[in-house]
Structure 1
């Protein structure tokens, strides 16, 4: 992937008169972290136990460690005294605890969900309400680790708004694919139909149009 000129195009939008019209610009302000060096990227990969997909890796090396990007921007990859991590909203450290595991297939996620659904306790199977409620709480508690397992082997790239996120698979057969996470509203974790470069460059083209006052032609965004 050739990212030549992309960093300069993004930074130039900081001075465009209509940047306030671009969704999410109030958060990232068209600012970019400096790119990482080859040594830094290699160190991050070794510490995190993964190899970044080529397009994302080259972005880190040639454009930025994070910052301006689709929606509310790309979570920057940074290092502090605790090690490498991504910086999420509110300057919180973000590292997927299951990052080194294989990213599950859609079939696996569907099977896990169906299996847990079938084990939902039924009140008529318990001698009293207290026993049922205790069993239901134990069953309901299983959803949190299951939801976490759904994005094993993936990096959370950024926040779309309203609790929706974009993920990048970095392990397994689907490494390099992007995923739209709508689970905050009981929606799916669904694949995006574009790769990382297309996703980022489409946003940049649209942002430049909007900042220049041209209609984007896109549907309303989540806020």
Structure 2
């Protein structure tokens, strides 16, 4: 074990004893808190099994994380979704599970090439949104009302297609809450970079950015940035209550 992940598992687990650990967002929140726990690491054979089912090789940083740090658990926001050799990355019952067809594992290996992650689809979806048929543009006759309904149904079907396609070629890695998720691009020119699934706010898919930088953020940068801030917060002594409070 070495490189960017050297000592990271130990640093994360040590936070379970930090005096101000509960001040770290997402660590202790009802049943959603990760509690700074990490799942066991995967073996090379287990990672390969997951990759075969998904029909893709994971980006190097994420792959090494599974092998050296853990297969899910503590991480940004409410933590990382678990990765099991025979299960989906996102827990069943979430919106991510329903929306991300590329995240579904099957018992058979996938022979077809995985779809490309294309964030430019967000612009295409936004353009489509602006072209929604308006009833006021149609006449008052029954025929015009029927034409509007047909046009709007076709527009709505295409809108659903475009919206679902925004996350093709990406892996859901964590939940931010309120139907927001974080994605890791698995394919295409943006492979290995992190993205926000902000469809809940009608913003499509947008890149993760770190303060002071407009550069694309990789999985390791995203995770280590979170850990550095979490350590700073968790190891602070809890603020003392004022006398009589």
1:97 — aligned with what?
101
**Mind listing any 5+ residue stretches in structure 2 that lack a counterpart?**
104-113, 210-216, 239-245
Mapped pair 1:48 → 2:43: no
- With the length of structure 1 as denominator, give the TM-score of the two structures: 0.84
**Selected match of 1:204 from 215, 220, 227:** 227
Give every structure 1 segment of 4 or more consecutive aligned residues whose post-TM-superposition deviation is greater than 4 Å: 89-93
- 1:66: which partner in 2? 72
1:111 equivalent to 2:124? Answer yes
Corresponding position of 2:132 = 120
Deviation string for 1:72-113 (max 9, x for gaps)? 00111113xxx341133768994832462011142x431344
Distance 1:97 1:151 in 2: 9
Q: Answer whether contact 2:13 2:38 (CA < 8 A) is retained.
A: yes
Write 1 or 2 for the structure with the bigger share of strand: 1
Alpha-carbon deviation of 1:137? 3.9
Q: SS in structure 2 opposite 1:77?
A: coil
Q: 1:65 and 1:122 mapped to 2: Cα distance?
A: 48
Q: Answer yes or no: is the 8 Å Cα contact 1:165–1:182 preserved in 2.
A: yes
* Unaligned ranges ≥5, structure 1: 216-223
Report the aligned-residue RMSD: 2.5
Q: Which residue of 2 aligns with 1:32?
A: 38
Residue pair 2:174, 2:183 contacting (<8 A) in 1 also: yes
Q: Which residue of 2 aligns with 1:179?
A: 195
Count of equivalent residues: 210
2:4 equivalent in structure 1: 2
TM-score, length basis structure 2: 0.77
